[in-house]
Amino acid sequence: MTNRLEVNLVRFVHLLRLMGLRIGISEVIDALQALQEVDLAEREAVRTALQAALVKRPAEQAVFAQAFARFFASPEARAALEQEYAEKVAQQQEMLAQAAEDLQFHGAPLALSDEEKFIYASIPPSAQQRMREYIQRTAEGKRVESNFRPVLESMLRGSLAFWRKSLRTELDQLLIPLTDDEELNALLSSMEEQPEAAADALLTEDMRNIAEKDLPQARALLQKLARQLVTKIERRYRQGQRRQQLDVRKTIRHNMRYGGSLFKLRYRSHRQQKPQLLLLCDVSGSMARYASFVLQFIYSMHSVVSSIEGFVFAEDLERVTDYFQYGGDFAETMVEIMNRSQEWGRGTELATALQSLRTKYPHLLTGQTYLLIVSDTKTMKVTQAVQELAEIKRMVKDVVWLNTLPAAEWQDHSSVKAFQELVRMYPCNTLLDLEQVMRQKIIT
Amino acid sequence: MEITLANLRRAFREDGYITDEEVLLTVYLALKLQKPLLIEGEPGVGKTELAKVLARIFQTTLIRLQCYEGLDENKALYEWNYQKQLLKIQLSKDAGCPAELEEDIFAPDYLLARPLLQAIQAEEKVVLLIDEVDKADEEFEAFLFEVLSDFQVSVPELGTLKARQIPIVLLTSNNERELSDGLKRRCLYLYLTYPAVEREVEIIRARIPDISEKLAWQLARAVAQIREQQSIRKKPSIAETLDWARALLTLGKDSLDETTVNQTLNLLLKRKADQDVFTEQVGARRLVMASQDEKR
């Protein structure tokens, strides 16, 4: 009986881990001990005991509730889930077989992964048709060579990767969970995404990939993060008297009244200075989404910085500070900027933008200014941009670069290396990155 | 009091702390397993009150450590009584016997016990409340590990001090920042939400016996309606609901009406921005209607 309980508990924990919960061994032991204190015949008591020991984040509670309901379901309900899963697997096998048949070059299957074939099977029939025609045209040309195959495979992979992004939500629901435990697979495939967990996931999603429908939620989340950070920083400003280093002069002076014995110690209080931020956001093509998030975040923090100057740039520079002066709805302000801006969505020329900043707005580049650049470093005339940046760096307190390229891709871009030698650069492609970099690196 | 679920349920009720079975069971498990209990939830849902209730029902001392940014071990654990040490040095010098001085001035007599050490050294089983732990620095969290998992603390000059009685430890957090996995691993976890309408009616009637059932229901429904508004930042707490109920009783009201809502709104919503949101999105008229809606 005990053994059965332990086995079930371990399998349940395994399921929760697969669903993204971080559960350590000590928590499993706690759960087991907790189960020994409750009546196992009482479902609610068992659920509460497991929840208290295993779930440590509010967003995980809905995930846990769903997993518990599925895992500890009646045998009939479990059988129905397994049946549903078996049908899903059969359907997917059929789709894969059809895809393998379609994606052939000169009678031999193309080297594509199951996932890629599955994407092919899920895209609209018209797109499938176009791909098949493309393969056919490549195969039937006049001077077809055998080395066309890898080129063709690579082309198809690129196209399927594009579809993977567009169909992300649908594919996530369809893809078969990859564990070697069929029972757990059946349970996993039946889970629905929980809104709270989805909100959590938005934090670590690349900002560019946040779907249109999730934008209001992402903005609300960002607002919440900013609010939390502002509260934290404001509290710190108020705590100017916090104990720091011993102030020897003040201590001696204060203790003269005790005949020179150091009876009461005096500490140096650290005066906090609010930083001045100058924000330079790349709004060329792929960068616009990042810029809108960063602008919203920074302007939400206006109470803990002494001033914010906002600029967007693509081929040249454009000042957007005035749009944010009077509060108002952020989404509306952004739409207004995007409509009026000459720069939104154009190509990138950081060198020109930096030169304009230096020549037209020299009064903003002071010894108190932090220059924040939000860009993926992909710009024309990198060498000139580096020179301009070096020039500006001498005029301001510090330059911090929030790079929207994922850190893993930095090594593939020479421009990253060029700018990195000059300024502090941090990855910033998720909402969480943005919050962390502001909290830990800028307003410290 | 012997720790059983039934005893705990009765004690909570007798103390006027009305809560769900889930909360009760989680507290019971924390007591039985002698594990710290981490309680998270919106401000005003009764996190701190839970610790006070436990102290009352076990008739023991509540030792409270209020966390804030910059809290360090001098404030949380112990500090040497510098002034007393200095006096001792002066006296010894005057008496001309400084030989055993060093041993003397680093003895327990010169130790100022702060909340954590007080809880560890207490002769009886106390309730230790580490309040708003999310406001402390991350380094401080790591410092708590030793206390929370082994119920002991290390004082370099004195060695390791083990708890005489394992205290009942409760930590609260308003979720202002994510706590570390290490801290969470050492605790059982409880997420407190605002009570459901029926539960809040029970709370109001338990705390304010003079109130009519009708008014209690109206208040609970009205407060639930306000809490549903996402744009209201500081939602009314249970204590504020009780204040509101007391105020209405003092004003001799037996039911909610628009004028009373407008006159007493500031007891529930204490930020101007929230009051504006309320006026814009709900308004006194709709609130009164919602408070009379028996389907809620």
* B25 interfacial to chain A (CB closer than 8 Å): yes
The phi and psi torsions of B216 (rounded to 5 degrees) equal -60, -45
Inter-chain contact A228–B184, Cβ cutoff 8 Å? no
* B40 interfacial to chain A (CB closer than 8 Å): yes
Domain stop point among A72, A102, A132 = A72
Contact residues, chain B, for A53 at CB < 8 Å: 29, 188-189
- A196-237 pLDDT per residue, tens: 566 667 777 777 777 766 777 777 777 777 776 676 666 665
* A62 interfacial to chain B (CB closer than 8 Å): no
The confidence score (pLDDT) of residue A171 equals: 63
Say whether pLDDT at A168 is over 70: no
SS3 B262: helix
> Among A92, A149, A91, which Cα is nearest to A115's?
A92
Q: Are A20 and A158 in contact (CB under 8 A)?
A: no
Residue A146 lies in a domain: yes
Q: Are A117 and A134 in contact (CB under 8 A)?
A: no
C-alpha distances in Å from residue B252, one per residue of B73, B228, B256: 51, 28, 11
Mean pLDDT across the stretch A309-323?
83
Token pair recorded at residue B79: 């500090």
Q: Are both A56 and A142 inside the same structural domain?
A: no
Minimal Cα distance from A47: which residue of B? B22
Inter-chain contact A55–B189, Cβ cutoff 8 Å? yes
Inter-chain contact B189–A56, Cβ cutoff 8 Å? yes
How many distinct structural domains can be found in chain A? 4
Q: Are both A178 and A233 inside the same structural domain?
A: no
Percent of chain A with pLDDT strictly greater than 90: 15
Q: What 3 state SS string does B220-242 have?
A: HHHHHHHHCCCCCCCCCCHHHHH
Minimal Cα distance from B69: which residue of A? A236
Q: Are both A280 and A416 inside the same structural domain?
A: yes
ipTM for the complex shown: 0.87
- A262-271 pLDDT per residue, tens: 777 787 765 5
Return the minimum-mean-pLDDT range out of A275-289, A320-334, A409-423, B239-253: A320-334
C-alpha distances in Å from residue A402, one per residue of A7, A152, A205, A264: 47, 37, 16, 46
The confidence score (pLDDT) of residue A240 equals: 45
| Domain residue spans of chain B | 5-75+114-192, 78-112, 197-292
User: Which of A141-155, A191-205, A271-285, B3-17 has the highest mean predicted lDDT (pLDDT)?
Assistant: B3-17
- B24-34 pLDDT per residue, tens: 999 999 999 99
Inter-chain contact B69–A24, Cβ cutoff 8 Å? no
Minimal Cα distance from A23: which residue of B? B185
Mean pLDDT across the stretch A44-61?
93
Mean pLDDT across the stretch B48-74?
91
C-alpha distances in Å from residue B70, one per residue of A306, A443, B182: 23, 17, 20
Residue A214 lies in a domain: no
Residue A41 lies in a domain: yes
Residue A159 lies in a domain: yes
| Position A281 confidence tier, pLDDT thresholds 50, 70, 90 | confident
C-alpha distances in Å from residue B289, one per residue of A323, B102, B148, B194, B239: 41, 74, 49, 21, 23
Average pLDDT, chain A: 80
SS3 B4: coil
Report how far residue A95's alpha carbon sits from residue A82's, in angstroms, rounded to the nearest whole number.
20
Q: Which residues pair with A318 in a beta bridge?
A: A312
C-alpha distances in Å from residue A261, one per residue of B83, B93, B96, B109, B111: 10, 13, 18, 21, 20
Domain extent, residue A285, equals 223-238+273-442
Find where tokens 């014995």 sit: A261
The confidence score (pLDDT) of residue A272 equals: 55
Q: Are both A302 and A437 inside the same structural domain?
A: yes
First to last CA, chain A: 55
From the centroid of its chain, how far is CA A365?
31
- A120-165 pLDDT per residue, tens: 888 888 888 888 888 888 877 777 677 778 888 888 888 887 787 6
- A181-191 pLDDT per residue, tens: 777 777 777 77
The confidence score (pLDDT) of residue A235 equals: 60
> Among B217, B271, B275, B215, which Cα is nearest to B246's?
B215
Contact residues, chain A, for B69 at CB < 8 Å: 232, 235-236, 239
Q: Are both A378 and A420 inside the same structural domain?
A: yes
Mean pLDDT across the stretch B87-93?
81
Find where tokens 């470093």 sit: A377
Return the minimum-mean-pLDDT range out of A19-33, A130-144, A396-410, B275-289: A130-144
* A303 interfacial to chain B (CB closer than 8 Å): no
* B197 interfacial to chain A (CB closer than 8 Å): no
Residue A211 lies in a domain: no
Residue A418 lies in a domain: yes
Say whether pLDDT at A38 is over 80: yes
Q: Are both A325 and A436 inside the same structural domain?
A: yes
Inter-chain contact B181–A45, Cβ cutoff 8 Å? no
Residue type, A402: L
SS3 A329: coil
Q: Are both A57 and A14 inside the same structural domain?
A: yes
| CATH classification of the domain holding A353 | 3.40.50.410
Inter-chain contact B26–A58, Cβ cutoff 8 Å? no
Q: Which residues pair with A109 in a beta bridge?
A: A104
Say whether pLDDT at A325 is over 70: no
Contact residues, chain A, for B189 at CB < 8 Å: 51-53, 55-56
The confidence score (pLDDT) of residue A380 equals: 84
* B21 interfacial to chain A (CB closer than 8 Å): yes
User: Which of A185-199, A240-254, B54-68 has the highest mean predicted lDDT (pLDDT)?
Assistant: B54-68
Query: What's the longest Cα–Cα distance across chain A?
Result: 105
Q: Are both A143 and A29 inside the same structural domain?
A: no
The confidence score (pLDDT) of residue A304 equals: 64
Token pair recorded at residue A107: 């009678």
Report how far residue A135's alpha carbon sits from residue B280's, in angstroms, rounded to the nearest whole number.
60
Name which of B185, B187, B232 to mutate to probe chain A: the one with the most chain A Cβ atoms within 10 A of its Cβ: B185
Listing DSSP states for A33-55 in one string gives HHHTTS-TT-HHHHHHHHHHHH-
Q: Are both A293 and A349 inside the same structural domain?
A: yes
Q: Are B291 and B221 in contact (CB under 8 A)?
A: yes
Report how far residue A386's alpha carbon sits from residue A421's, in angstroms, rounded to the nearest whole number.
10
Say whether pLDDT at A434 is over 70: yes
Mean pLDDT across the stretch A92-108?
83
Q: Are both A108 and A66 inside the same structural domain?
A: no
Percent of chain B with pLDDT strictly greater than 90: 43
Report how far residue A353's alpha carbon sits from residue A359's, in angstroms, rounded to the nearest whole number.
10
Say whether pLDDT at B111 is over 70: yes
Contact residues, chain B, for A231 at CB < 8 Å: 176
Q: Are both A59 and A82 inside the same structural domain?
A: no
| Position A436 confidence tier, pLDDT thresholds 50, 70, 90 | confident
| Position A327 confidence tier, pLDDT thresholds 50, 70, 90 | low
Q: Are B190 and B23 in contact (CB under 8 A)?
A: yes
Token pair recorded at residue A331: 């989404």
Q: Where are the alpha helices (DSSP H) in A283-412?
A: 288-300, 330-340, 350-360, 382-395
**What is the nearest CA distance from A49 to chain B, expressed in angstroms?**
7
Q: Are both A370 and A333 inside the same structural domain?
A: yes
Residue A200 lies in a domain: no
* Residues of chain A by 3-state class (helix, strand, coil), percent to 5: 65, 10, 30
| Position B62 confidence tier, pLDDT thresholds 50, 70, 90 | very high
C-alpha distances in Å from residue A65, one per residue of A79, A179, A194, B184: 20, 21, 10, 19
C-alpha distances in Å from residue A331, one per residue of A97, A293, A295, A305, B247: 46, 10, 11, 22, 41
Percent of chain A with pLDDT strictly greater than 70: 82
Residue A266 lies in a domain: yes
Q: How many CB pairs under 8 A join A and B?
A: 76
Residue type, A208: R
CATH 2.40.420.20 assigned to domain B5-75+114-192? The reply is: no
| Position A241 confidence tier, pLDDT thresholds 50, 70, 90 | very low
Indicate the DSSP class of residue A430.
Answer: B
How many other C-beta atoms can be found within 10 angstroms of the C-beta atom of residue B234? 15
